[in-house]
Amino acid sequence: MADLVSRIGSSWRRHLPTLAAAIPVAAFVLGMAGPAARADETGAESGFDEHRVEFHNQGVKLAGSLLLPRSEGPVPAVVFVHGAGPQTREPYREVGAYFASQGIAALIYDKRGTGQSGGAYESYEPYENLVNDALSAVAFLKQLREIAPSQVGIWGLSQGAYISAAAASRSKDIKFIIVVGADVADGMMFYYRDNLFRRYGLSDTLRDVAEKLYLVDQDLQRTFQDGFRLSSFAPRSYPPPDEYVHPAWGHVNQPVLAMWGQLDQHVPVGESVAGLKNSLAQANNENWTIIILPQTNHDLKISETGALQSKSRGYPPGALQTMTDGAWSAIDRPSEIGKLKQEGVAPESGILPRLSSYESLRWYGNGTVQAALWILFLVSFIANTIGGAWCCSTRLFRRRQSVALPASNRVVNLKRAIGALNFLILVTFSIAALLVLDQLHPSCPTVLLFVPLLGTVSTLATVALLIVLVSTRHDQGWTAARRIRFSLDVLCLVLFVPYMFYWNLIGFRF
CB proximity list for 460: less than 8 A, separation 6 or greater:
none
Residues 297 and 399 in one domain: no
pLDDT of residue 327: 96
Residues 37 and 113 in one domain: yes
What phi, psi does 221 have (nearest 5°)?
A: -65, -45
Instruction: Decide: pTM greater than 0.85.
Output: no
Residues 181 and 210 in one domain: no
Residues 230 and 250 in one domain: no
Q: Supply the CATH number for residue 250's domain.
A: 3.40.50.1820
- The answer to the question of residue 504 being in a domain is yes
What is the C-alpha R_g of the chain? 29
Which CA distances in Å does 509 have to 154, 280, 445, 476? 49, 47, 12, 45
Residues 132 and 232 in one domain: no
Question: How many domains does one find in the chain?
Answer: 2
CB proximity list for 389: less than 8 A, separation 6 or greater:
none
Asked whether the beta carbons of 225 and 468 are under 8 A apart, the reply is: no
Please, which contacts does 393-402 make with residues 24 or more away whose CB atoms are closer than 8 Å? Answer: none
pLDDT of residue 180: 98
Which of these, 109, 110, 64, 107, lies nearest to 86 by C-alpha position? 110
pLDDT of residue 32: 35
pLDDT of residue 36: 35
pLDDT of residue 416: 85
Which mean pLDDT values do the consecutive 10-residue runs of the chain (510 residues) have? Answer: 36 36 33 33 64 95 96 95 94 96 97 95 85 97 96 97 97 96 94 95 95 92 84 89 95 97 96 97 96 95 90 92 96 85 92 91 93 94 84 66 49 85 94 93 95 94 88 68 80 94 95
- Which residue, of 297, 313, 346, is where some domain finishes? 346
pLDDT of residue 41: 33
pLDDT of residue 29: 32
- The answer to the question of residue 360 being in a domain is no
Enclosing domain of residue 149: 2-188+240-346
Residues 183 and 230 in one domain: no
pLDDT of residue 412: 79
